[in-house]
């Protein structure tokens, strides 16, 4: 129960703080049991970033776990400060971050690079959010360049899992079976039909990637591709002291040259994140049609500002390769789906969103759950990247309307995968202006059309 109550048709009670609306659990909203349960399942996705910090940045396990805890704390800033949707990683940008970090040795150099990237992302969100240029940039960006970014990120995500020495080679059975289960539940047309008619299928489908992770984990234990967990009891005490040694206050702040290297990747991350905002906003608007009892204000400006604050905090105190994105699409979709069922099912969108994140945070500090998933974190990361790759490629291809766009996007994607964001942006822009938008070609086309029409008339 909550101290304050909302009357039908009004906003959920809050305390005003500048442009933000402060809402606290048990004061302004109640906790929702279904979201609490789901949070105890979904928390392992957040832990999947730990192998990235270990392999590409040089973090210890304990320091990386402390980063995961801080990340969930900053996620809570969203619903507590008035953003009704679930924030999360910029998932589709993770392959691009890996490519960028590949230019640096794990250790102090990689830490500085990640700090530079996260600072760049932070200030891009701040500047483009305040000025409103973000929407203009993304909407006016040619389809071929958008698609090239997404397809390149998708190729990088899948390639990293199937190359020689990748996780497919070391854990083929669990990864293949887990991937097939994941793709069937999330993308299969036959499962979509089952979802509409079968309660069990709908229950499974509502948990997104988690059923596939559970299947892959069980297969990994049965086939001994992953060691059995050594479950410990107690509470996790995050090792913030060790994490401090991986911050820029200890390893040093990045140089201007590293920041300049990071900006192209940061720009691509923003473009991807803005796509998540569009998807999340659309889902929210559709769900709101079912809930006339609650007036909810979704401020894109506040969303940009909070994303700046979260990335800035991480850059200084807990660098994170998933970056702090405005929308966790799967989590948001899950909350909004139940939100549609009315006030008895979920009192407020804020109560659902906050409950999910609070449960994820609590699960991350429960030692039995953390030690249960610790040996199998790589499989959760692999499935996340494979899904990301599939979605990036399919969505990217959908945006292409003709062979010219497909050619520009394809070449840009290959350059992005092979050489990174800087070269990809340059090549994409050059090809766009040379092939798609060169004025002389347009005049020639117009002249050819005119000559053709003249011949028909004569």
Centre a 10 Å sphere on the Cβ of residue 366 and count the other Cβ atoms it contains: 16
- Per-residue confidence (pLDDT) for residue 204, from 0 to 100: 79
Q: Report residue 361: phi and psi, to 5°.
A: -65, -45
- Averaged pLDDT, 434-455: 52
CB 215 within 8 A of CB 177: yes
- Please list the alpha-helical segments (H only) found in 103-252: 108-131, 133-140, 143-162, 167-170, 172-187, 189-197, 199-205, 210-222, 240-244, 248-251
Sign of CA dihedral 76, 77, 80, 83: negative
CB 408 within 8 A of CB 148: yes
Angle at 379 between CA 222 and CA 227, to 5 degrees: 40
Q: How far apart are the first and last CA of the chain?
A: 82
Give the separation between CA 82 and CA 101, rounded to whole angstroms: 34
Structure tokens at 198: 């079968």
Cβ-based neighbours of 302, under 8 Å, separated by 6 or more:
19, 20, 81, 82, 83
pLDDT in tens, 394-425: 888 888 888 888 999 999 999 988 888 888 88
The confidence band for 441, taking pLDDT boundaries of 50, 70 and 90, is very low
Angle at 140 between CA 136 and CA 141, to 5 degrees: 115
* DSSP string for residues in 342-386: -TTT-S-HHHHHHHHHHHHHHHHTBHHHHHHHGGGHHHHHHHHHH
Average pLDDT score, the chain? 85
Give the separation between CA 122 and CA 212, rounded to whole angstroms: 33
Query: Among residues 154, 142, 96, 86, which one has the least CA distance to residue 121?
Result: 96
* 3 state SS of 224: coil
pLDDT in tens, 189-247: 888 888 888 888 887 776 667 788 888 889 989 998 888 888 889 898 889 999 999 99
Give the separation between CA 329 and CA 92, rounded to whole angstroms: 11
Q: Report residue 102: phi and psi, to 5°.
A: -65, -15
Please, which residues bridge with residue 34 across strands? Answer: none
- Per-residue confidence (pLDDT) for residue 377, from 0 to 100: 77
Cβ-based neighbours of 5, under 8 Å, separated by 6 or more:
13
CB 259 within 8 A of CB 416: no
pLDDT cut 70: percent of the chain above it: 95
Give the separation between CA 236 and CA 163, rounded to whole angstroms: 35
Please, which residues bridge with residue 217 across strands? Answer: none
Query: Among residues 98, 31, 17, 133, which one has the least CA distance to residue 353?
Result: 31
Give this prediction's pTM: 0.82
- Averaged pLDDT, 299-308: 91
Residue 170's alpha-carbon distances to 121, 174, 250, 340, in angstroms, are 34, 10, 36, 43
The confidence band for 452, taking pLDDT boundaries of 50, 70 and 90, is very low
Give the separation between CA 420 and CA 100, rounded to whole angstroms: 7
Query: Among residues 91, 452, 128, which one has the least CA distance to residue 263?
Result: 128
Please, which residues bridge with residue 88 across strands? Answer: 325
- Per-residue confidence (pLDDT) for residue 439, from 0 to 100: 58
* 3 state SS of 31: coil
Give the separation between CA 176 and CA 383, rounded to whole angstroms: 10
């Amino acid at each position: 129960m909550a101290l304050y109550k909302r009357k039908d048709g009004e906003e959920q009670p809050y305390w005003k703080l500048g442009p933000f609306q402060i809402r606290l659990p048990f004061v302004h909203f109640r906790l929702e049991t279904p979201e609490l349960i789901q949070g105890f399942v979904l928390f392992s996705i957040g832990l999947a970033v730990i192998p990235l910090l270990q392999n590409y940045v040089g973090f210890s396990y304990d320091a990386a776990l402390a980063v995961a805890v801080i990340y969930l704390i900053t996620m809570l800033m969203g619903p507590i400060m008035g953003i009704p949707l679930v924030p999360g990683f910029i998932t589709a940008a993770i392959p691009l971050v890996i490519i960028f970090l590949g230019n640096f040795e794990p250790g102090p150099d990689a830490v500085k690079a990640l700090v530079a990237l996260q600072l760049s992302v932070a200030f891009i969100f701040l500047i483009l959010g305040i000025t409103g240029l973000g929407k203009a940039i993304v909407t006016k960006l040619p389809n071929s360049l958008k698609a090239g970014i997404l397809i390149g990120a998708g190729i990088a995500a899948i390639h990293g899992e199937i190359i020689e020495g990748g996780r497919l080679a070391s854990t083929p059975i669990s990864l293949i079976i887990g991937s097939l289960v994941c793709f069937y539940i999330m993308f299969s047309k036959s499962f979509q039909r089952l979802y509409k008619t079968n309660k069990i299928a709908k229950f499974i489908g509502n948990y997104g990637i988690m059923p596939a992770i559970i299947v892959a984990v069980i297969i990994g234990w049965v086939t001994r591709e992953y060691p059995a967990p050594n479950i410990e009891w107690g509470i996790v005490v995050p090792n913030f002291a060790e994490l401090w040694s991986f911050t820029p206050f200890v390893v040093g702040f990045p140089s201007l040259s590293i920041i300049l290297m990071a900006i192209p990747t940061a720009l691509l991350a923003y473009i991807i994140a803005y796509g998540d905002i569009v998807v999340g906003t659309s889902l929210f608007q559709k769900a709101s049609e079912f809930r006339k009892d609650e007036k909810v204000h979704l401020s894109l400006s506040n969303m940009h500002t909070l994303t700046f604050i979260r990335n800035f905090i991480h850059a200084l105190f807990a660098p994170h390769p998933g970056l702090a994105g405005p929308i966790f699409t799967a989590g948001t979709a899950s909350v909004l789906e139940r939100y549609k069922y009315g006030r008895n099912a979920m009192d407020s969108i804020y109560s659902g969103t906050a409950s999910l994140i609070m449960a994820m945070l609590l699960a991350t500090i429960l030692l039995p759950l953390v030690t249960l998933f610790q040996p199998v974190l790589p499989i959760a990361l692999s499935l996340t990247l494979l899904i990301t790759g599939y979605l990036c490629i399919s969505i990217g291809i959908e945006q292409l309307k003709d062979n010219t766009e497909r050619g520009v996007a394809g070449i840009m994607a290959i350059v992005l995968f092979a050489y990174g964001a800087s070269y990809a942006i340059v090549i994409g822009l050059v090809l766009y202006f040379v092939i798609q938008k060169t004025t002389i070609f347009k005049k020639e086309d117009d002249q050819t059309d005119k000559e053709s029409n003249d011949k028909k008339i004569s």
